[in-house]
Amino acid sequence: MGGTFDPVHHGHLVAASEVAARFDLDEVVFVPTGQPTFKLDQDVTAAEHRYLMTVIATASNPRFTVSRVDVDRAGVTYTVDTLRDLKTARPDAELFFITGADAIAQILTWKDADELFSMAQFVAVTRPGHALSVDGLPGDRVHVLEVPALAISSTDVRARARAGQPVWYLVPDGVVQYIAKHRLYRGQS
Ligand code: ATP
């Protein structure tokens, strides 16, 4: 599951858990982006913070791991590079890339879009406030899954933290503590 994870929240975690159960996955690898392609104009939190928050958030689930491939690769993150690196690290693995409804809607604009579908199957999950459509995508490589609806976004968590509003129960407890300790999202959009 790729994402900016700025910060990781329960919407990400519940989606990952549901996909893991439904597709009987051995492992869900969370891959925080380096510099995200579609957020070049935004002030994205340092990759190391986003990586560590994802590690904290996933620590209690033995099936969840976090990969540094995108954080450690220089330059803008493209999913085609993510999948190449994951495939190199796990040559025998059958890969499923998990995306929310908003992300799958953009996928044909991603770099080397055709190649993506040969490298992995895609699981598009439902997300409140976003229509889920996989029209025009290869049906044998793209799956749709309804997941418990949590209307949480990282944008909202950041805005709440900035405004001094609570973010408890939107993100895991350890992530609340990490945000407070490192004073993240203060004076930033
Ligand atoms: P932002 O608000 O900063 O754009 P975000 O909440 O969309 O962030 P991302 O890290 O960009 O979080 O999302 C990573 C992946 O998780 C994307 O594929 C996204 O569609 C999916 N996702 C995010 N939030 C949810 C949610 N509440 N339910 C289901 N899927 C989600």
Which tens digits make up the pLDDT trace of 15-46? 999 999 999 999 999 999 998 777 666 789 99
Which H or E run contains 113? Answer: helix 113-119
Residue 6 CB–ligand 1 contact under 6 Å: yes
The predicted model gives 60-85 an average pLDDT of 96
Residue 172 CB–ligand 1 contact under 6 Å: no
> Is the distance from CB of 147 to CB of 19 less than 8 angstroms?
yes
Give the ipTM of the model, two decimals please. 0.98
Query: Secondary structure of 53-103 in the HEC alphabet?
Result: HHHHHHCCCCCEEECCHHHHCCCEECHHHHHHHHHHHCCCCCCEEEEEHHH
186 alpha carbon – ligand 1 mean position (Å): 21
Domain extents in the chain: 2-182
Sign of the C-alpha dihedral computed for residues 79, 80, 85 and 86 taken in this order: positive
Give per-residue pLDDT as tens, 39-70. 666 789 999 999 999 999 999 999 999 999 99
Give per-residue pLDDT as tens, 131-183. 999 999 999 999 999 999 999 999 999 999 999 999 999 999 999 999 999 99
| Global pTM exceeds 0.90 | yes
Whether omega for the bond prior to residue 138 falls within 30 degrees of 0, making it cis, is no
Residue 155 neighbours by CB under 8 Å, 6+ apart: none
171 alpha carbon – ligand 1 mean position (Å): 13
182 alpha carbon – ligand 1 mean position (Å): 22
Tell me what pLDDT residue 42 has.
72
Chain centre to alpha carbon of residue 88? 20
- Give the model's confidence band at 122: pLDDT under 50 very low, under 70 low, under 90 confident, else very high: very high
Residue 13 CB–ligand 1 contact under 6 Å: no
pLDDT tops 80 at residue 188: no
Residue 79 CB–ligand 1 contact under 6 Å: no
| Superfamily grouping for domain 2-182 | HUPs (3.40.50.620)
Q: Take atom 7 of ligand 1 and give the residue whose Cα is closest.
A: 153
